[in-house]
C-alpha cells in the first residue's frame, strides 16, 4: 500500500505542476506583445481575409474562451494546429522529436559518460597536470560560442578534410534518388558524428566538473579512507567507493539534462541544419505560432516532470538509504 | 621480560603534517614502542596527541600532507618482496605496502560508523576484501563470512543489509569482522567504541576481549579512555603532544605510573568498579603541535613543574622493569 | 569502468569507420540542387500562411496562370491596349477583349487548347470558371490570387461563365487594371481534383439553399486551407500543369521536384532580351535542400553540394576566384522606409518629418553599413520597377555631408517655429558648414511644448544587426540637433502588432523602421498602403499605419485604380509618388540588392530576371530553360 501511495502522490503533484506551467505559458504568450498574423501579413490582404484567418486560428475569441479550449485540448492531449504549418502540432513534433533525440540525447549521454569518467580521474589525481589540462580544455570548449565552434569544425573536418558532410541529417541526393536502408542508416550516422562531437565537446565539461567536485567531497568520507587503508586496489576504491557515491548528484544532473535535451538547441540546429525541435520552437516563438510553441513547451515540461520522478526512483535504486515507504 | 617475539617494532618515528606557509605539525615526534605476538599494546592520550597518526604512519594511510621524517618501523610478516623476518615498512613501495594492508595489519577505524560504504551491502564489502586479499572463491568467502558472523555475534542473514539498516553496535561488529576477515597478524583498533553508548561499548569490549583470547590476536588498541585501554591491553603507552611520556605493563599502571600526566589521566578516570572517586581532570588545553612549548611539553599544565621543565626536554628513562617515563621531577626526586 | 572505455573506443572506432566508409556513389544526374534558407511552410495553395517564398516557389512550378509578366519586364507587343504593356500570354492565347454591355463590361478570354494537366486531362474553360468561382462564390482566396479584394462585397467581378471549352467570359461591374494584373494572374486549379473536396466541405457547413453566409464561408475556407498537401492529398496525387512536379519531401530536409516530361509548353520559344530560348524543361528536376545558416550554404556551394545559392556581399571575393561559379546580382522591388505616426507630435509637423528624412543618410548607410546591399530609393515605387517609378522626386540631402544635413535640419526646424533652450551651433567657414560645434538641447515644438521623446522602432540587433546599427546612428544625429530620440528594438511580430493592433485601436509607435514591404510590379499597392480607409483604427488590420489622411491622395489613388490606359495611369502614379514624397507619411529609404552564385559549368542558359534574379518563386521561366552541360 505504502509503496503505491508515493508514486501516486508524485504523479498527482506532477499533473498539478503541469497544469500550472501550461497556464503560465498560455498567459505568457497572450501577454507578450506580437501578432500571430505577422507571418501572413501582406498589404494586398483585405481586412476581411485577415478576419477569416484570425477566426480560423481561434484568435477572435475572448481570452478565457481560448483558455478553456486550450485546457480542454490539453486534457485530450490535443495540442492544436500550428499556425505556420497548418498541421497538427503533434505531427510537427512527432517528425522533429526523433531527430532531436538522436542528436541531443546521444550528446547528453556521451557527455555524461565522458564527464563522469574524466571527472573521477581528475578528482582522483588532484593537482596533477592532467587535472589542470582537462579543466582548462573543458572550460575552453564550454565557454566557446557553439555556433562558432561548430562552424570551425565544419570548415576543418567537413569542408577542408572532407571527412564528414557539411550539414543536415541526411544526404538529400542519396535519399531521394534511391538508397538501400543500410546505406541510409550509415548516411544518418555519418551526418550525426560532427554535430555530436561538437555538442559533446562543448558540454562534457559541466558534467566533468560536477563529478570532480562531488568526488572530491566523497573522497573525504571515512569509508573511502577506510577502503584505502584496507589495501583495496586503487581502482576499486576509486570506482566502487568514491565514484559510486559521487555519482548520485551527477546522475540527477544527467537525467535532467536528458529531459532538457528533447528541447534541442537553436544554434546547433541552425549551424548543422539539423531538423530538430529547438529551431522550430525558436521560430514558433518569434512568429507567435502559439499552438506550436505551447506544444513544444508542453513536451518539455512533461519531460522535466517525468525526469524528476525518474530521479526519485533512480535514487531509491542507487542509494539504499533512500526509500519512499 | 619474557623473551616473547616482537611482531612490530616502532623505532624513533617522526611524522609531520605540512601546513601552508612552510609550517608543520609535529604529530608524531620520535616514538618508539613494540608489540609482542599475541599481546595487546594500548595507546592512550587526549585527542590530538598524535595517537591516531601513529596508526596512519604504520599503515601508511596518512593524508597527502603527512610526511615521515625519520625512524623505522619493522613488521614481522611472511615473505614479501623477497624480504622476510622483520621487514622495514618504510622501505616498501606503495605496491608492497598494499599487500601488508589487511593481510599483515588490519584496522578497526575510529568512527566505524562511517567506514562502511553506504551504498553497498555490508556482506559484500567484507567478501570483497577477502576476495581481493586472499584470492578465494565467492563460496569460500561466503563460508568465511558466516564464521566471522558467529565470532562477532551477527546473524549471517543480516549481512545482506545496507549499513544504514544496522545499529551502531552492529556496524561496529561488522567493522571488527572486516578487520578479522583476512586473518591479519596485527589489528590496530583506533577508538573502536567511541561513538557507542555505554552499554553497547561494554558489550563490544567484552567481545573484543573474547576474540583476543580465542584468536590470540596481536593488537594495538588506541583510545582516549584510559580505563578501556587498561582493561584490554597488556602494555599501556601514554602519549602527550606527539611524544610518549610513559609506558608500562597494565598490571603496574595504576600503582606505579609516575608521570604527572598519566597520574592526571588515572585520576580523571571514572572507575567502573570501586568507590566513586573524585574526578580530578587535568586543567588546561593540550599544546599546539605546530609550536609546542620549549622543554617538557606538559609543563604548562603540570602542577609539579620546576625550572628545568621549561628549558629542557626530559629524557625517556627506564624507571623500573619495563616501565619507562619522561619527567624531570620524577627522575630527579 | 573498463567496459565504459570499451564503449567509447567502440564508438570512436565506429565513427572513424563511418567517416572512412565510401559513401555510395550518387547516381549521375542532372538535377538542379538549390540551397534554401528555410523549410517550406506547406503546399496548400489556399492557405494564407504559406506565403513564404519557399512554399511559393514550389507552388509556382505546380500551378500556372492565364497571364504573366514578360520575362524581362519589357513591353509585349501583343499587350498593346492593355493596362500594363508588360503582360505576357501564358495559358491564355490572346489578350482579353472587352465589351460594354449595359452598366457592365464583358471580358472574353481565349485559352490555348494544348494545355494539359499532369494526369493527362486537358485544361479547359471549366477549370478557369471553377477557380474563379472559388473566389466569387465561396470566398476561398488562393494564395497567389494576387488581388484579395475580389472576394469582398465590393468585388468588381460580377460573374464568370464558360462560353466554350476554351473561352471564358467574365462579367465586370467596372473595368479596372487590377483585373488584368490581379485576377487574371492567379493560379488555375484542376476542377476534377478540387471540386469534390470543396463540395464536400460546402455540404458539411452550408445549411439551406440560400447564399453561403460569411460565417459558413469562414468555416469552409479554413477547412480547405488546413488540407495537408503531401498527406491528405499525396504528393504524387497533386495535379498541376506546370513544368515541375513535387516527388519527394522530407520536411526540414529537402524537397525533390521532378521535371514534367510532357510539359505542354515544351518547345515553345521564349524571347528574352532579344535572345530566343526553347522551353524544356531540360534538367531532371529540382532538389532543394534546407541550409539554415548562410555560412554553411556557402561552404556547400564551394564544395559542390549545391548548384545555386544566395550569398552576402562580403563573400563575393571568395567566389570570384572559382572559375566554375558565376556571380549574378539583382535589385529587388523591396520597399523599406521611415514610417511616421502622423497622429502624434512632433511627427505631425511636416518640418519635423522633413528634418528626420534629411538626417537619414541612406547613401552613407548603404556604403558603410550595408556594403552596397541596400541601394537608396526616393520613391515608394523602387527604381527597378522602371515603368512606374517616378525618378524626379526630392532626394532629401543626397550628396550632403553629415554636418550639412544637420545644419539644414536646424534651419528647417527653426523656420517652422521649433525652439531650443540651447541652440545647436555650427562651424561655418565661407558659407560652408564644416561641423557641428555644440549639440542642441531642450527642443520645443512650435506650439511651445517640450518635444517628447521620439522612439525609433527598429528591428533588434539579433534579428537584423545592420539595421540596428543604422538606427543607432540616426538616433545619434537626431540627438545632435536636440531631438530626444530613442532607438527601441522591437521584434517583428511585436512591431506588426504595434503598427496595426489586432483590436482596431490606434497604432502605437513614433517612427517605424522595422517593417517594410516586397512590392508588386503593379503599383496598385500605393492605394492599399496610404488610402485613408486603410488606417488600422478605421479598418482593423489596415495597412495605413501612419494614419495618412489626404483627400487629394485618396481621390487620385482611387482614380488610378480605375484607369485602364497605362500612359494616363502612369501619370497618376507619378503624381501619387510625388504627393507621398512631399507629405512624407513615410520616407522611402532603400531597396535590396541580392547576390546569387551558380554553377556555370554544370548548367547553361541561366536567366537573371529583373527584380527577381536567377530563380525563385518569381522567376518561373529560369528553370524551364536552363540546360545541363554535357560532362564526360
Name the more confident of A175 and B110.
A175
Helix (H, G, I), strand (E, B) or coil at B323: strand
Residue B1 lies in a domain: no
Same domain, B306 and B209: yes
**A324 has pLDDT over 70:** no
Q: Which of B133, B155, B181 is the last residue of a domain?
A: B181
C7, C292, C493 member nearest A35 (Cβ) = C493
Is A128 an interface residue toward B (CB < 8 Å)?
no
Q: Are residues B280 and B174 in the same domain?
A: no
Q: What are the counts of helices (DSSP H) followed by strands (DSSP E) for chain A?
A: 15, 0
Name the residue among C303, C494, C502 with its Cβ closest to that of A159.
C303
Q: Are residues C509 and C381 in the same domain?
A: yes
CATH number of the CATH domain containing B51: 3.40.50.300
Is the minimum CB–CB distance between A240 and chain B shorter than 8 Å?
yes
A109 to chain C, closest Cα gap in Å: 11
Contact B44, B226 (CB under 8 A): yes
Residue B221 belongs to some domain of the structure: yes
User: Does residue C52 sit within a domain?
Assistant: no
How many helices (H) and strands (E) would you count in chain C?
A: 17, 31
Average pLDDT over residues B56-67: 83
Residue from C230, C541, C542, C586 to probe the interface with A (highest A Cβ count within 10 Å)? C541
Number of domains in chain B: 2
C374 touches C366 (CB < 8 A): yes
**CA-to-CA dists, residue B189 to A196, B76, C485, angstroms:** 53, 19, 81
- Chosen from B115, B121, B131 to mutate, greatest number of chain A CBs within 10 A: B115
For chain C, list residues with pLDDT below 70: 1-8, 11-27, 141-154, 631-632
Burial class (CB in 10 A: 0-12, 13-18, 19+), C299: buried
What's residue C1's pLDDT? 46
Higher-pLDDT residue of B268 and A140 is A140
B237 part of a folded domain: yes
> How many other CB atoms are found less than 10 A from the CB of residue C237?
12
Residue of C11, C14, C491 with shortest CB distance to A286: C491
Count of A-C CB contacts under 8 Å: 214
Nearest chain A Cα to B178, which residue?
Answer: A230
Model confidence at A77: pLDDT above 60:
yes
Considering only CA atoms, which of B180, B165, B253, B255 is closest in space to residue B210? B180
Same domain for C612 and C586?
no
pLDDT higher than 50, residue B2: no
pLDDT score for C481: 94
Please answer yes or no on whether B178 and A241 come within 8 Å at the CB atom: no
Interchain CB distance below 8 Å, B117 and A236: no
* H/E element, C604: strand C603-604
DSSP per-residue letters across C124-140: -HHHHHHHHHHHHTT--
- CB-based contact, A318 to chain B, within 8 Å: yes
pLDDT at position B277: 43
Residue C596 pLDDT: 94
Domain carrying residue C462: 334-407+452-590
How many residues appear in chain B?
Answer: 333
Question: Looking at the complex, does the CB of residue C287 fall below 8 Å from at least one CB of chain A?
Answer: yes
Model confidence at B223, pLDDT cuts 50, 70, 90, reads: confident
Mean pLDDT value of segment B74-103 = 79
Q: Are residues B137 and B229 in the same domain?
A: no
pLDDT at B275 over 50: no
> Over the stretch C595-632, which tens digit does the pLDDT of each residue have?
999 999 999 999 999 999 998 888 999 999 999 997 65
User: Does residue B130 share a domain with residue B250?
Assistant: no
Pick from C14, C148, C291: which is nearest to A49 by CB?
C148
Write down the pLDDT at residue C153: 58
Name every chain C residue with its beta carbon within 8 A of the beta carbon of A269. Answer: 292
Mean pLDDT of all residues belonging to chain B: 82
| CA dist., res. A198 & res. A146, Å (int) | 8
Question: Using CB atoms, which chains have 3+ pairs under 8 A with B?
Answer: A
For residue C469, the domain's CATH number is 3.10.105.10
C492 and C377 fall within a common domain: yes
Average pLDDT of the segment spanning A272-283? 89
Distance CA A48, CA C150 (A): 11
Residues of A in contact with C496 (CB under 8 A): 34-35, 37-38, 41
Query: What's residue C369's pLDDT?
Result: 87
**B176: containing domain:** 115-181
ipTM of the complex: 0.84
Alpha carbon of B223: minimum distance to chain A alpha carbons (Å): 18
Higher per-residue pLDDT: C205 or B85: C205
Q: In terms of domains, do C477 and C502 share one?
A: yes
- Using CA atoms, how far residue B260 sits from B12, C126, C547, in Å, is 23, 123, 104
Nearest Cα of chain B lies from the Cα of A124 at a distance, in angstroms, of 12
Chain A residues within 8 A of C541 when measuring between CB atoms: 37, 45, 47, 50-51
Can you give the pLDDT at residue C266?
94
Say if C586 falls within a structural domain. Answer: yes
For the segment B53-65, the average pLDDT, to the nearest whole number, is 84
For residues C498 and C472, membership in a common domain is answered with yes
Fold of the domain built from segment(s) A93-318: MetI-like fold (1.10.3720)
Alpha-helical regions (H) of C507-594: 525-530, 551-560, 566-583
Same-domain status, C318 and C360: no
CA dihedral C80, C84, C89, C95 (to 10 degrees): -50
**Which residue does chain C place closest to A235, by CA atoms?**
C1
Which pLDDT does position B136 carry in this prediction? 87
Q: Same domain for B142 and B201? A: no
pLDDT in tens, B105-163: 888 877 666 788 888 888 898 898 888 888 888 899 898 888 888 888 888 888 888 88
| pLDDT for the residue B162 | 87
Do B324 and B237 fall within a single domain? yes
Q: Which of B156, B181, B206 is the last residue of a domain?
A: B181
Say if the Cβ atoms of A174 and C26 lie within 8 Å: yes
User: Is residue C302 domain-shared with residue C338, that is, in the same domain?
Assistant: no
Confidence grade of residue B278 (pLDDT, cut at 50, 70, 90):
very low
Q: Which of A86, B232, B223 is nearest to C43 (CA)?
A: A86
Say if residue C191 is in the same domain as residue C251: no
The DSSP line for B193-225 is TTTS-HHHHHHHHHHHHHHHHHHT-EEEEEES-
Mutation site for A-interface testing, chosen from C293, C304, C336, C514 by largest number of A Cβ within 10 Å: C293
State whether C338 and C328 are in the same domain.
no
Q: Residues B221, B87: one domain?
A: yes
Question: Taking CB atoms and an 8 Å cutoff, what residues of chain C touch A45?
Answer: 48, 148, 541
Choose one of C174, C196, C218: the last residue of a domain. Answer: C196
Verify whether the Cβ–Cβ distance C493 to A84 is below 8 Å. Answer: no
CATH assignment at residue C278: 3.40.190.10
Q: Would you kindly state where each structural domain of chain A is located, as residue ranges?
A: 2-75, 93-318
B157 and B289 co-located in one domain: no
Q: Is C540 on the interface with A (CB under 8 A)?
A: yes
B131 plus B259 within the same structural domain = no
The reply to whether C542 falls in a domain is: yes
Do residues C520 and C73 lie in contact, with contact meaning Cβ atoms separated by under 8 Å? no
User: Are A240 and B102 within 8 A, CB to CB?
Assistant: no
Strand order in the sheet with C244-250: C244-250, C254-259, C285-290, C31-36, C308-311, C593-599, C325-331
**Which of A223, A229, A319 faces B114 most closely, judged by CB atoms?**
A223
pLDDT at C5: 64
Residue B297 falls inside a structural domain = yes
In this structure, the answer to whether residues B174 and B215 fall within a common structural domain is no
Q: At which of B181, B204, B232 does a domain end?
A: B181
Same domain, residue pair B232 and B155: no
d(CA B176, CA B187): 10
The answer to whether C31 contacts chain A (CB < 8 Å) is yes
In chain A, residues with a C-beta closer than 8 Å to the C-beta of C228 are: 86-87
Whether B98 and B124 share a structural domain: no
Taking an 8 Å cut-off on Cβ atoms, the answer to whether C252 and A33 are in contact is: no
Specify the number of domains making up chain C. 3
Torsion of CA A149, A151, A152, A156, to 10 degrees: 140
Are B293 and B211 in contact by the 8 Å Cβ rule? The answer is: no
Calculate how close chain C gets to A87, using CA atoms only, in Å.
7
Q: Is C508 on the interface with A (CB under 8 A)?
A: no
Residue A321 CB contacts under 8 Å (≥ 6 apart), including other chains: B118, B119, B162, B164
Cβ-Cβ contacts under 8 Å, A39 against chain C: 49, 493
Smallest Cβ–Cβ distance between B116 and the set A223, A233, A318 belongs to: A223
C493 with A85: Cβ contact below 8 A: no
* Cα Rg, chain A, nearest whole Å: 24
Interface test with A, best of C493, C525, C534, C542 (most A CBs within 10 A): C493
Higher-pLDDT residue of C559, B280:
C559
Amino acid at each position: 500500500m505504502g509503496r503505491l501511495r508515493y508514486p501516486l502522490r508524485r504523479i498527482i503533484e506532477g499533473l498539478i505542476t503541469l497544469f500550472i506551467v501550461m497556464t503560465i505559458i498560455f498567459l505568457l504568450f497572450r501577454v507578450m506583445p506580437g501578432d500571430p498574423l505577422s507571418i501572413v501579413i501582406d498589404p494586398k490582404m483585405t481586412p476581411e481575409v485577415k478576419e477569416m484567418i484570425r477566426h480560423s486560428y481561434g484568435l477572435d475569441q475572448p481570452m478565457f474562451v481560448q483558455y478553456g479550449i486550450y485546457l480542454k485540448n490539453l486534457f485530450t492531449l490535443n495540442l492544436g494546429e500550428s499556425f505556420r504549418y497548418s498541421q497538427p502540432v503533434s505531427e510537427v513534433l512527432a517528425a522533429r522529436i526523433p531527430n532531436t533525440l538522436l542528436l541531443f540525447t546521444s550528446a547528453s549521454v556521451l557527455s555524461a559518460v565522458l564527464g563522469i569518467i574524466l571527472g573521477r580521474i581528475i578528482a582522483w589525481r588532484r593537482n596533477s597536470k592532467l587535472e589542470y589540462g582537462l579543466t582548462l580544455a573543458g572550460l575552453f570548449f564550454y565557454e566557446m560560442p557553439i555556433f562558432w565552434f561548430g562552424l570551425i569544425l565544419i570548415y576543418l573536418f567537413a569542408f577542408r578534410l572532407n571527412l564528414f558532410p557539411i550539414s543536415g541529417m541526411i544526404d538529400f541526393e542519396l535519399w531521394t534518388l534511391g538508397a538501400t536502408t543500410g546505406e541510409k542508416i550509415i548516411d544518418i550516422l555519418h551526418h550525426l558524428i560532427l554535430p555530436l562531437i561538437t555538442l559533446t565537446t562543448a558540454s562534457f565539461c559541466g558534467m566533468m566538473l560536477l563529478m570532480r567536485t562531488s568526488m572530491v567531497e566523497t573522497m573525504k568520507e571515512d569509508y573511502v579512507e577506510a577502503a584505502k587503508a584496507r589495501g583495496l586496489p586503487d581502482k576499486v576504491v576509486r570506482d566502487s567507493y568514491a565514484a559510486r557515491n559521487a555519482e548520485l548528484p551527477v546522475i540527477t544532473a544527467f537525467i535532467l539534462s536528458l529531459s532538457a535535451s528533447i528541447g534541442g538547441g537553436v544554434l546547433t540546429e541552425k549551424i548543422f541544419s539539423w531538423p530538430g525541435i529547438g529551431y522550430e520552437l525558436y521560430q514558433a516563438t518569434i512568429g507567435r505560432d502559439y499552438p506550436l510553441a505551447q506544444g513544444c513547451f508542453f513536451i518539455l515540461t512533461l519531460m522535466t516532470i517525468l525526469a524528476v520522478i525518474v530521479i526519485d526512483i533512480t535514487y531509491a535504486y542507487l542509494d539504499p538509504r533512500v526509500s519512499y515507504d | 621480560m619474557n623473551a616473547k617475539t616482537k611482531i612490530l617494532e616502532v623505532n624513533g618515528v617522526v611524522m609531520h603534517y605540512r601546513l601552508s606557509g612552510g609550517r608543520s605539525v609535529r604529530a608524531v615526534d620520535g616514538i618508539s614502542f613494540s608489540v609482542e605476538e599475541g599481546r595487546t599494546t594500548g595507546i592512550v592520550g587526549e585527542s590530538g596527541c598524535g595517537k591516531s597518526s601513529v596508526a596512519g604512519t604504520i599503515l601508511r594511510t596518512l593524508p597527502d600532507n603527512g610526511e615521515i621524517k625519520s625512524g623505522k618501523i619493522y613488521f614481522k610478516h611472511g615473505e614479501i618482496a623477497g624480504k622476510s623476518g622483520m621487514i622495514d615498512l618504510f622501505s616498501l613501495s606503495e605496491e608492497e605496502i598494499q599487500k601488508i594492508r589487511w593481510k599483515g595489519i588490519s584496522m578497526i577505524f575510529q568512527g566505524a560508523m562511517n567506514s562502511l560504504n553506504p551504498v553497498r551491502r555490508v556482506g559484500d564489502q567484507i567478501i570483497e576484501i577477502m576476495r581481493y586479499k586472499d584470492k578465494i572463491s565467492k563460496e569460500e568467502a561466503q563460508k568465511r563470512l558466516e564464521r566471522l558472523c558467529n565470532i562477532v555475534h551477527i546473524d549471517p542473514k543480516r549481512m545482506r543489509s545496507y549499513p544504514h539498516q544496522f545499529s551502531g553496535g552492529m556496524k561496529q561488529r561488522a567493522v571488527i569482522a572486516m578487520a578479522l576477515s583476512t586473518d591479519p597478524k596485527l589489528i590496530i583498533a583506533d577508538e573502536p567504541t567511541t561513538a557507542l553508548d555505554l552499554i553497547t561499548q561494554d558489550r563490544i569490549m567484552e567481545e573484543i576481549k573474547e576474540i583476543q583470547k580465542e584468536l590470540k590476536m596481536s593488537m594495538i588498541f588506541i583510545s582516549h579512555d584510559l580505563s578501556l585501554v587498561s582493561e584490554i591491553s597488556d602494555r599501556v603507552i601514554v602519549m602527550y603532544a606527539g611524544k610518549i611520556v610513559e609506558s608500562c605493563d597494565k598490571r603496574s599502571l595504576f600503582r606505579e605510573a609516575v608521570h604527572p600526566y598519566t597520574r592526571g589521566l588515572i585520576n580523571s578516570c571514572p572507575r567502573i568498579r570501586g568507590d566513586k572517586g573524585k574526578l580530578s581532570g587535568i586543567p588546561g588545553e593540550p599544546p599546539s603541535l605546530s609550536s609546542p612549548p620549549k622543554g617538557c611539553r606538559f609543563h604548562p599544565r603540570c602542577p609539579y613543574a620546576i625550572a628545568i621543565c621549561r628549558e629542557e626536554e626530559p629524557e625517556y628513562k627506564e624507571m623500573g622493569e619495563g616501565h619507562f617515563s619522561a619527567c624531570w621531577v620524577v627522575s630527579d626526586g | 569502468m573498463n567496459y565504459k572505455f570499451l564503449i567509447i573506443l567502440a564508438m570512436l572506432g565506429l565513427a572513424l569507420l563511418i567517416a572512412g566508409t565510401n559513401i555510395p556513389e550518387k547516381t549521375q544526374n542532372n538535377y538542379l540542387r538549390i540551397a534554401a534558407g528555410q523549410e517550406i511552410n506547406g503546399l496548400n495553395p489556399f492557405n494564407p500562411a504559406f506565403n513564404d517564398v519557399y512554399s511559393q516557389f514550389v507552388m509556382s512550378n505546380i500551378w500556372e496562370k492565364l497571364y504573366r509578366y514578360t520575362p524581362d519586364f519589357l513591353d509585349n507587343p501583343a499587350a498593346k491596349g492593355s493596362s500594363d504593356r508588360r503582360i505576357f500570354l501564358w495559358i491564355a492565347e490572346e489578350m482579353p477583349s472587352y465589351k460594354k454591355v449595359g452598366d457592365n463590361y464583358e471580358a472574353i478570354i481565349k485559352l490555348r487548347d494544348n494545355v494539359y494537366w499532369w494526369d493527362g486531362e486537358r485544361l479547359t474553360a471549366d477549370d478557369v470558371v471553377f477557380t474563379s468561382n472559388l473566389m466569387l462564390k465561396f470566398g476561398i482566396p488562393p494564395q497567389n490570387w494576387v488581388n484579395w479584394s475580389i472576394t469582398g462585397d465590393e468585388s468588381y467581378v460580377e460573374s464568370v461563365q464558360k462560353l466554350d471549352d476554351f473561352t471564358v467570359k467574365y462579367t465586370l461591374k467596372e473595368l479596372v487594371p487590377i483585373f488584368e494584373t490581379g485576377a487574371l494572374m492567379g493560379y488555375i486549379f484542376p476542377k476534377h481534383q478540387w471540386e469534390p473536396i470543396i463540395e464536400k466541405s460546402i455540404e458539411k457547413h452550408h445549411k439551406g439553399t440560400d447564399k453561403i453566409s460569411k460565417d459558413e464561408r469562414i468555416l469552409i475556407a479554413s477547412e480547405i486551407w488546413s488540407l495537408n498537401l503531401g498527406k491528405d492529398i499525396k504528393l504524387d496525387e497533386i495535379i498541376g500543369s506546370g513544368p515541375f512536379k513535387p516527388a519527394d519531401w522530407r520536411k526540414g530536409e529537402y524537397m525533390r521536384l521532378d521535371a514534367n516530361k510532357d510539359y505542354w509548353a515544351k518547345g515553345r520559344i521564349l524571347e528574352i532580351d532579344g535572345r530566343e530560348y526553347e522551353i524544356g524543361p531540360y534538367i531532371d528536376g529540382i532538389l532543394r535542400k534546407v541550409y539554415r545558416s548562410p555560412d554553411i550554404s556557402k561552404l556547400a556551394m564551394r564544395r559542390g553540394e549545391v548548384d545555386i545559392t544566395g550569398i552576402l556581399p562580403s563573400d563575393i571575393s571568395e567566389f570570384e576566384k572559382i572559375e566554375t561559379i558565376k556571380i549574378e546580382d539583382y535589385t529587388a522591388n523591396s520597399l523599406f522606409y521611415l514610417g511616421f505616426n502622423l497622429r502624434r507630435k512632433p511627427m505631425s509637423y511636416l518640418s519635423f518629418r522633413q528634418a528626420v528624412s534629411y538626417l537619414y543618410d541612406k547613401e552613407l548607410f548603404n556604403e558603410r553599413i550595408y556594403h552596397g546591399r541596400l541601394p537608396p530609393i526616393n520613391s515608394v515605387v523602387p527604381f527597378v520597377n522602371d515603368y512606374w517609378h517616378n525618378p524626379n522626386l526630392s532626394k532629401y540631402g543626397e550628396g550632403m555631408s553629415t554636418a550639412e544635413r544637420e545644419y539644414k535640419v536646424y534651419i528647417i526646424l527653426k523656420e517652422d517655429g521649433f525652439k531650443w533652450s540651447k541652440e545647436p551651433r555650427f562651424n561655418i567657414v565661407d558659407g560652408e558648414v564644416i561641423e557641428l560645434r555644440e549639440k542642441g538641447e531642450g527642443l520645443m515644438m512650435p506650439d511651445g511644448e517640450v518635444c517628447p521623446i521620439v522612439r525609433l522602432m527598429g528591428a533588434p540587433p539579433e534579428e537584423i544587426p545592420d539595421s540596428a546599427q543604422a538606427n543607432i546612428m540616426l538616433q545619434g544625429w537626431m540627438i545632435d540637433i536636440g531631438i530626444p530620440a530613442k532607438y527601441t528594438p522591437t521584434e517583428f511580430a511585436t512591431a506588426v502588432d504595434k503598427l496595426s493592433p489586432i483590436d482596431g485601436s490606434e497604432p502605437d509607435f513614433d517612427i517605424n523602421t522595422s517593417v517594410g514591404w516586397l512590392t508588386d510590379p503593379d503599383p496598385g499597392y500605393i492605394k492599399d498602403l496610404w488610402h485613408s480607409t486603410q488606417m488600422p483604427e478605421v479598418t482593423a488590420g489596415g495597412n495605413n499605419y501612419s494614419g495618412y489622411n489626404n483627400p487629394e491622395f485618396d481621390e487620385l489613388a482611387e482614380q488610378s485604380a480605375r484607369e485602364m490606359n497605362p500612359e494616363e495611369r502612369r501619370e497618376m502614379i507619378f503624381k501619387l509618388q510625388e504627393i507621398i514624397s512631399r507629405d512624407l507619411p513615410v520616407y522611402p529609404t532603400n531597396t535590396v540588392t541580392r547576390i546569387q552564385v551558380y554553377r556555370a559549368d554544370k548548367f547553361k542558359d541561366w536567366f537573371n530576371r529583373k527584380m527577381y534574379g536567377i530563380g525563385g518563386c518569381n522567376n518561373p521561366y529560369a528553370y524551364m530553360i536552363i540546360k545541363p552541360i554535357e560532362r564526360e
